[in-house]
Amino acid sequence: MTSDIILTLLFLAGVLAVYYLVPRGRRVWVLLAASVIFYVSAGFWMLKWIVGSGLWTFYAGVKMEQAETKEKKKVWLRAGILAVLGFLFAEKYLGFLWKNLLLLSSVLRFPLAADFPFSMKVLAPLGISYYSFKMISYLADIYQEKRHAERGVEGCGIYLAYVLFFPQILCGPIERSEHFTGQLHEGPVYRSELFSLGLQRIVLGLFKKMVIANRLAGYVDAVFGAPESYPGLACVMAAFFYSFQLYCDFSGYSDIAVGMANVLGLDSRKNFDCPYFSRGIKEFWARWHISLSGWLRDYIYIPLGGNRVSKTRHRLNVLATFLLSGLWHGADWSFVLWGGIHGVWNLVSTKKEEAVSLGRRIWQTLITFCGVTLAWVFFRADSLGQAVSFLRHAITGFSLSYAEIQNSILPFTGDNTCAAYFLTACGFLFLLFFYEREQVYGKKRDRDVILGSGWLAVMTVSVVLFGVFGASGFLYANF
Amino acid sequence: MKRVIKAIGAALALSLVLILAKNEYARLLPASTYGMQAVLRKGETENLFIGSSMFRQGLDIDVLEERLEGSSYILSYNGNQPALMAMELQYLLEQGLKIRNLYIDLYPYTAAADPWISDTKILLDTDLKFKARAWRLMKDSTGAGFRDFYEFFVTANNEQLLTYPLNNKIVSAQFRNGGSLIAQPGKTKEELYGLGTLGSRDGVNRTQAEGYGKIVELAEEYELNLWFLETPKYERMYADADYQKLYGEALDIVRELQQDWTGTGSFTILCTENLEFDITDAGCYQDLIHLSAEGRENYTKLLCENLKMAE
């Protein structure tokens, strides 16, 4: 259920039917119940992890606030965070560690048993990377006295509703606790402007996800799955299409998740701000997965000393933050390398001047986009070796002959409808480009208008007539 | 809020109108060089071949036009099944198409499949009434659900329609009178043996068998000469027990229909085994079931000779 957007929206409609009928003060309990049902529908076994770590961090928060000395507070902070990180490590990284230990042991000729020695599920609980970060930020904020700990039965319910919040459990955004729980304490209320904003965001998200991301998914999967079977041009196209697929998939889900929060009467922050219009890598990270970037900045980079340290230490801080970001996305060296590429690129890049010619602005945007796309290849490939052979084939097998162009379009459908699918995909990418260009360079709209009437109508018609409903999973749910 | 509701409401209403218009009127777009609309606009054809990709890859339109009397047209859709072929034939005849000789693809794998529109081009070529009948057939036989319904009536062919002026030119350049102009190269024996076989099936589907019957009925009613043709498969297919079993089953059904034939025209079954086609020559095949350009030309020449002899 959790990976099917249409069922999720139907579930939301069911929740809404009850939600606004109960008194304002009790809506948080409807939200919590709905979130538990939603989570359980993906697998009952996962519930114990999230509820267990949720209750523990709730308790640690209370104890931390009650502690009289800084030392005692620190003990509870560590106890809470270590438990969360312990779960996260055990579920997501133990296999990766074991794989590398085996490799190391074979290099050092010190044999280890080949079987994984722990009897745990290989599949990590749904959303563990997201809810773990929520819990950590909650504890860190209490420690830094940015917020008070939740207390009592109601506080516990509010905290669990924040952790389990069903629209955002799958792939974020990683909402900050003080912003979210504050609204739950007040009691969510129906606000026409917010509801309307939510609907617009849902339509925009559906357009990105169903019309663009799902349309490109088949092509990208086919070419990345067997790059040597296709021309080099197809690999180049697949790399660029993956850039768009990932963006539309993830930002589409984020738009839907934020929109769902809005229709539930909750204000939520946007997670993407037209990142492919960035003129440099620093700007890109200010626009891409904003909630994760902000989290890493506030809870990793700044505690490490940020830029208020020596130059060398600052560089190490940046690099460490990006390597951790890579590792957060997945337990594989290709993700670590991807994080490393972005870290190094960040270190060597300079802040872009505002007053530059249009030509230079376009050039900077294109260079940034191509660089980001190149790094995505490591992100998408199943392993480091596959990424390298994919890039090698893209270069050595590249040609622009008529036959190669034909064979590069063919993977869309595998028959004579491929040209139509290719042209349609390009058409919708242009549509999104024009929409986002208006967002970045056009005149600023009212806060409650994301889509003007024209855009709203065009995107709704596109979703109805061109939505691809088959491939409905979300890429970022895997991270 | 009112603005949002109005915009979404208007968009949904517009979508509904577009869906209805597409399903009824898309067939009236400028015709391509293949499919049902192209042959309907010709008004008549002496020889009509209805089949799957076996016919598209297996019949050479140049050879047919050169060696058969009168005009020829190859109506082929991917995976075209007997039940659907019967509906297509009925549609064409009801729309007034004049035919003398009808040739039907005897490919047992399509006869073993559950009734389904395996090529959405069929939907682009037909009216709403045809689609409703096809949907009922699919639904009754397979229990197709809402998602299939949505794909069938709402999203199918939208990409082709959106890009029609350009896409139709590109695709139509690959056909003439329904015959493929693309020359696919042959393979080597090693390559063909490297390919996987198509696996087993649960025998001929009842609805598909009825489809063969319906085709025979229509041929009788419209006084057509009827031919069932089996295009050559690679020797490895004929050595496959699953294929042989299914092929035998389909052939038995058609032979039974031949015995009960009451039409004024002829009823002939022409299989590969009746022709002197070299099924061991890998260069004549692009895969285990489809002929290469060389194989297509050789087979069509042999076929034309045999058709003339049978007359």
Q: Do A427 and B19 touch (CB under 8 A)?
A: no
Q: Does B7 touch chain A (CB under 8 A)?
A: yes
Distance from CA of A460 to the nearest CA of B (A): 6
Nearest residue of chain A to residue B153 (CA atoms): A465
CA B9 to chain centre: 40
Q: Which domain holds residue A404?
A: 194-280+352-478
For residue A342, being part of any structural domain is answered with: no
Please indicate if any CB of chain B lies within 8 Å of the CB of A423.
yes
Sequence length of chain A is: 479
As for how many domains chain B has, the answer is 1
> What is the three-class DSSP state of B232?
coil
Residues 6+ apart with CB under 8 A from A290: A173, A269, A270, A271, A272, A273
DSSP string, A105-160: HHHTT----SS--S-S-SSPPTTHHHHHHHHHHHHHHHHTTSSPPP-HHHHHHHHH
Say yes or no: A6 contacts chain B, CB-CB below 8 A.
no
Q: Which residues contact A300 (CB under 8 A, 6 or more apart)?
A: A320, A321, A324
DSSP A22-49: S-GGGHHHHHHHHHHHHHHHT-GGGHHH
CA distance B311 to B299: 18
Of A189, A218, A243, which residue sits at a domain end?
Answer: A189
Comparing CB atoms, the residue among A193, A415, A464 nearest residue B12 is A464
Residues of B in contact with A456 (CB under 8 A): 4, 7-8, 11
Q: For the residues of B158-177, what is the DSSP string, one character each?
A: HHHHHTHHHHHHHHHTTEET
Sign, CA dihedral B285-B289-B295-B297, equals negative
Among A332-336, B99-103, B294-298, name the one with the lowest average pLDDT.
A332-336
Mean pLDDT of B161-168: 92
Decide if A14 contacts A25 (C-beta within 8 A). Answer: no
**Contact criterion met (CB < 8 Å) for B159 and A421:** yes
pLDDT value, residue A241: 97
Cα B90 to Cα A244: distance, rounded to the nearest angstrom: 45
Query: Which B positions 167-196 lie with beta carbon below 8 A of chain A?
Result: 167, 170-171, 174
Residue of A nearest to B20 (CA): A465
- For residues B278 and A469, the model is more confident at B278
pLDDT of residue B163: 94
Tracing tokens 């259920």 back to the chain, one arrives at A1
DSSP state of B283: G
In-domain check, residue A340: no
Q: In the prediction, which pLDDT does A1 show?
A: 37
B17 and A CB contact within 8 Å: no
Q: Are A97 and A228 within one domain?
A: no
User: Is residue A255 domain-shared with residue A357, that is, in the same domain?
Assistant: yes
Nearest to B11 among A416, A417, A457 (CB): A457
CB contact under 8 A, B158 and A460: no
Q: At what angle do helices B2-25 and A453-466 cross, to 10 degrees?
A: 40
Cα B84 to chain center, whole Å? 8
Average pLDDT, chain B: 94
- Digit-coded pLDDT (tens) for B65-75: 999 999 999 99
Residues A158, A141, single domain; the answer is yes
The CA-based angle A13-A18-A19, given to 5 degrees, is 85
Is residue A215 in some structural domain?
yes
Q: By the CB < 8 Å criterion, does B1 face chain A?
A: yes
**B115, part of any domain:** yes
Whether chain B has a CB inside 8 Å of the CB on A446: the answer is no
- For residues A109 and A174, membership in a common domain is answered with yes
Q: Is residue A327 part of a domain?
A: no
**DSSP code for B286:** S
> Is any Cβ of chain B less than 8 angstroms from the Cβ of A192?
yes
Query: Would you call B171 and A416 a contact, using CB atoms and an 8 Å cutoff?
Result: yes
> Alpha helix (H) ranges present in B195-268?
206-221, 235-238, 241-259
Pair A200, A230 in one domain: yes
Q: In what order do the strands lie in the sheet with B44-51?
A: B72-76, B44-51, B98-105, B225-229, B267-270
Q: Is A196 in CB contact (< 8 Å) with chain B?
A: yes
Q: How many domains does chain A have?
A: 2
**Nearest residue of chain A to residue B154 (CA atoms):** A465
Of A189, A206, A229, the residue that ends a domain is: A189
Q: Which of B123, B163, B181 to mutate to test the interface with A (most CBs of A within 10 A)?
A: B163
Which regions in chain A score pLDDT beneath 70? 1-3, 111-123, 444-448, 470-479
pLDDT confidence of residue A441:
87
Chain A hits for B147, Cβ within 8 Å? 469
Q: How many CA atoms lie within 13 A of A437 on its CB side?
A: 8
DSSP character at residue A353: P
pLDDT of A121 reads 46
| Residue B29 at interface with chain A, using a CB cutoff of 8 Å | no
How far apart are alpha carbons A67 and A354 in whole angstroms? 49
A9 touches chain B (CB under 8 A): no
Interval B126-134 mean pLDDT: 95
A185 and A207 belong to one structural domain:
no
Q: What is the pTM of this model?
A: 0.88
Tokens of B9: 């409401």
Interface of B with A in 263-282 (CB under 8 A): none
Kindly state whether B140 is in contact with chain A, defined as any CB-CB distance less than 8 angstroms: no
Number of A–B residue contacts, CB under 8 Å: 81
In angstroms, what separates the C-alpha of A418 from chain B's closest C-alpha?
A: 9
3-state secondary structure of A304: coil
Domain containing B80 — which CATH number?
3.40.50.1110
Q: Which residues of A touch B6 (CB under 8 A)?
A: 453
Distance from CA of B4 to the nearest CA of A (A): 6
Q: Do A460 and B12 touch (CB under 8 A)?
A: yes
How many CB atoms are closer than 10 A to CB A466? 22
Do residue A127 and residue A253 come from a single domain?
no
Average pLDDT, integer, range B262-286: 95
Query: Is residue A87 assigned to a domain?
Result: yes
Q: In the listed set A133, A164, A189, which residue is the last one of a domain according to the structure?
A: A189
When computed from its CA atoms, the radius of gyration of chain A, rounded to whole angstroms, is 23
In a shared domain, residues A32 and A139: yes
**Residue with the two structure tokens 């970022």:** A476
Helix (H, G, I), strand (E, B) or coil at B45: strand
B265 with B225: CB under 8 angstroms? Answer: yes
Tell whether B145 is covered by a domain. Answer: no
Q: Is residue A410 classed as helix, strand or coil in its secondary structure?
A: helix
Residues A104 and A205 in one domain: no
B151 contacts A424? CB cut-off 8 A: no
pLDDT value at position A113?
62
Q: Structure tokens of B248? A: 């035998």
Longest dimension (CA), chain A: 75
Contact (Cβ atoms closer than 8 angstroms) between residue A77 and residue A60: yes
Does B6 touch chain A if contact means CB atoms closer than 8 Å? yes
Contact A421 B6 (CB under 8 A): no
| Residues in A touching B166 (Cβ below 8 Å) | 419, 423
CB spacing of A464 vs B154 below 8 angstroms: yes
Range of the domain at B262: 35-124+183-310
Instruction: Residue A415: list chain B partners with CB under 8 A.
Output: 78
Do A417 and A364 contact (CB within 8 A), yes or no? no
The pLDDT value recorded for residue A221 is 93
DSSP secondary structure letters along A411-438: GGTSSTTHHHHHHHHHHHHHHHHHHHHH
Q: Tell me whether residue A21 is in a domain.
A: yes
Residue numbers in A near B151 (CB within 8 A): 469
Task: Supply the DSSP symbol for A285.
Answer: H
H-type alpha helices, B26-107: 36-42, 53-58, 61-67, 82-94
Q: Among all chains, which residue has been given the structure tokens 């809810």? A: A131
Chain A residues in contact with B154 by the CB 8 A cut-off are: 464-465
CB < 8 Å to B185, chain A:
none
User: What is the distance between the alpha carbons of residues A283 and A433, in angstroms, rounded to a whole number?
Assistant: 18
- Distance from the A118 Cα atom to the nearest Cα atom in chain B, whole angstroms: 39
Task: Give the residue carrying structure tokens 């402007």.
Answer: A193
Q: Which residue of A has its CA nearest to B174?
A: A416
B49 DSSP β-pair partners: B74, B103
| Contact state of A466 with B78 under an 8 Å Cβ cutoff | no
Give the pLDDT of residue A122: 53
Choose among A416, A427, A456: nearest Cβ to B8.
Answer: A456
Identify whether the C-beta of residue B74 lies closer than 8 Å to the C-beta of residue B55: yes
> Is residue A34 situated within a structural domain?
yes
**CA quadruple A55, A61, A64, A66: dihedral, nearest 10:** -90
In this structure, are strands B98-105 and B267-270 parallel, antiparallel, or unpaired?
Answer: unpaired
Does the distance separating the beta carbons of A461 and B15 come in below 8 Å?
Answer: yes
In the residue annotation, A329 being an active-site residue is answered as yes
Task: Find the catalytic residue in A289, A314, A329, A393.
Answer: A329
